[in-house]
Amino acid sequence: MTSRILVTGGAGFVGTNLVRLLLSRGHTVTVLDDFRTGRAEYLEGLDVEIVRGEIGDTALVTDLAQDKDAIVHLAAAGSVVDSVADPSANFEANAQGTFSVLNAARAANIGRLVFSSTGGALIGNAVPPVNEQSLPKPISPYGASKLAAEAYCHAFAKSYGIRTVALRFANVYGPYSGHKKGAITVFLRALHEGRPIQIFGDGKASRDFMYVDDICRGLELGLTSDLEPGTVAHLATGVETSVSELADACRQAVGLPDHPIEYLPPRPGEVERNFATYDYAKQAMGFEPTVALTDGLARTYDWYQQHVF
C-alpha cells in the first residue's frame, strides 16, 4: 500500500537515501529541508516535491502535512562536537524542532510519525551492549536533545494518539555522506589527501557502524509495522568496532594498509564505548542488518571516488 510521506531533512545523508527507497516502493514524497547541510543536487532528477523551509515553522509544517499519511522526521543537528560548542543551537534544532514537527502532526491529524533518534549519545556511558531498557544518561547536549525529543514523541503518542516510532540509529555511513563530519568521512578524506588519519583518544573507543541502506529499511519498517504508539527501538548491528579497528578497515578499503595514524587528546562529550542489540527491532518489526562493515566501506569509498574526490 503506497502512502504520501513528508520527510524532514530529506536532502541530507540519510534522507537522500530514504527518499530513493520510498520512491522505489511507489510512495509519494515531499521533502522539507533548510539546506544548511543538505544538498539540493542529491535530489536532482527525482520525482519528489522539495520545499525549502525550517522545521521550526510550525505553520509551514502543518500546511505540508495536511494531505500526508505519515512524517519521517530526520532533520537534526547531528554533531556531538558542535553541540558542546553551541548547546543552544543544538537544543533549538533537535528539541524545539521536534516539538514543532509533532505539534504540526497533531494539527494535521497525522497518523504516524517516525523519528530518527540516536543510541550511543542518548544512553551515554554504559556497559554495552545497550538496549531499550538501558537507562539514558546523556553526556553531551546532542544526546540530551534527542532524549528530550523522544520524550515528546512518547507524550504526543499518549496524549493525541499519533503512532510515533523513535528509532535509535547506530553510527550511519554510506553514499551521499560527503558533507558529513563523521569518522568514516574524515578518515576517507585523510586517506585520499595523503594526510594522517587523526584519532581522538587512544583508539579504544567503540561504536556500532551501520550501512545506510539498512537504516533506511529500518525506517521503512517503522512506517509499516504494527507498533504500539510511542515505541522506541534500536537499529543496530550488535557489533562493537573500536575506532582503531575502523581506521584499519578504512585503510584496507582504500588499499593503503600502512597509511599513518595520529592520536590526539580525546574530545569532551563523546561516549567511550557503545554498541546496541537489535533484538527488539527484529522481534517487533522484522528488522535485521544485511551489510557487513567491510562491504559497506567498499561501497562507500566507490561512491566517494565518483562524487567527492
Instruction: Tell me the average pLDDT across 145-161.
Output: 98
The string of pLDDT tens digits covering residues 214-238 is: 999 999 999 999 999 999 999 999 9
- The pLDDT of residue 33 is above 90: yes
CATH number of the domain residue 26 falls in: 3.40.50.720
* Structural domain contains residue 61: yes
Band of pLDDT at residue 203, cut at 50, 70 and 90: very high
Phi/psi at 89 (5° precision): -65, -40
Long-range contacts of 51-60 (CB under 8 A, 24+ apart): 55/8, 55/9, 55/93, 55/97, 55/98, 55/100, 55/101, 56/92, 56/96, 56/97, 56/100, 57/100, 58/100, 58/103, 58/104, 58/107, 60/32
Instruction: Tell me the average pLDDT across 21-43.
Output: 96
Q: Identify the residue with better confidence: 28 or 307.
A: 28
Q: What confidence score (pLDDT) does residue 2 get?
A: 79
Instruction: Tell me the average pLDDT across 23-49.
Output: 96
Instruction: Tell me the average pLDDT across 60-72.
Output: 97
* Structural domain contains residue 90: yes
- The pLDDT of residue 294 is above 90: yes
* Structural domain contains residue 295: no
The string of pLDDT tens digits covering residues 73-122 is: 999 999 999 999 999 999 999 999 999 999 999 999 999 999 999 998 99
Q: What confidence score (pLDDT) does residue 308 get?
A: 85
Instruction: Tell me the average pLDDT across 288-298.
Output: 97
Number of domains in the chain: 1
Active site residues: 142
- The pLDDT of residue 178 is above 90: no
* Structural domain contains residue 52: yes
Strand 206-207 relative to strand 241-242, pairing: antiparallel
Band of pLDDT at residue 179, cut at 50, 70 and 90: confident
What is each CA distance from 190 to 74, 165, 199, 293, in whole angstroms?
28, 37, 11, 19
Cα–Cα dist 103/264, whole Å: 43
Copy the grid coordinates of residue 89: 543551537
Range of the domain at 90: 4-174+208-239+276-290
* Structural domain contains residue 234: yes
Instruction: Tell me the average pLDDT across 66-74.
Output: 97
* Structural domain contains residue 252: no
